[in-house]
């Protein structure tokens, strides 16, 4: 989660309800530990089937892509590639690929159809 809520609903309309994502929506909602929507256990926080070592590898890979993207932009590497190589590099280094592979953006019925 982006943050953790440690506060009960205030009852004050000015402050709203701290246990929601507000106008930003559910992706920005905190993990609630107290209050009306409290979660008794953080079951959804468990990395299912992912070891800490694998998680660290993913973080390293993300940093490597970020570094490569910055260096490629400043070194002019992209200018020396042919059209197809440039297209391939653009696919690998843009956030659009990560967005396309993000299952949280898929319709739940589609995910259920494929066993997710």
Q: What would the pLDDT profile of 11-47 be if each residue is shown by its tens digit?
A: 666 666 666 777 787 777 777 766 555 555 555 556 6
Q: What would the pLDDT profile of 69-114 be if each residue is shown by its tens digit?
A: 788 777 776 666 677 777 887 888 878 878 887 888 888 888 888 7
Same domain assignment for residues 72 and 86: yes
Same domain assignment for residues 28 and 66: no
Query: Which residues form the domain of 101?
Result: 49-113
Same domain assignment for residues 61 and 104: yes
* Total Cβ atoms within 10 A of residue 93: 17
Distance (Å, whole) CA 38 – CA 35: 5
Same domain assignment for residues 18 and 66: no
Q: What would the pLDDT profile of 82-91 be if each residue is shown by its tens digit?
A: 777 778 878 8
Distance (Å, whole) CA 98 – CA 116: 18
Same domain assignment for residues 35 and 11: yes
Q: Is 66 left (phi over 0), alpha (psi -120 to 50) or beta?
A: alpha
Instruction: Kindly list the distances between the CA atom of residue 99 and the CA atoms of 18, 45, 96, 102, in Å, as whole numbers in the listed order.
Output: 28, 21, 5, 5
What is the reported pTM?
0.33
């Amino acid at each position: 989660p982006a943050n953790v809520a440690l506060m009960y609903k205030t009852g004050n309309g000015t402050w709203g309800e701290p246990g929601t994502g507000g106008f930003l929506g559910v992706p920005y909602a905190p993990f609630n530990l107290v209050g009306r929507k409290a979660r008794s256990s953080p079951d959804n926080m468990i990395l299912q089937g992912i070891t800490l070592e694998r998680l660290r590898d993913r973080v390293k890979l993300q940093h490597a892509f970020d570094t490569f993207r910055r260096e490629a932009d400043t070194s002019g590497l992209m200018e020396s590639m042919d059209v197809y190589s440039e297209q391939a590099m653009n696919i690998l280094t843009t956030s659009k690929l990560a967005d396309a592979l993000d299952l949280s953006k898929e319709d739940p019925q589609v995910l259920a159809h494929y066993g997710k």
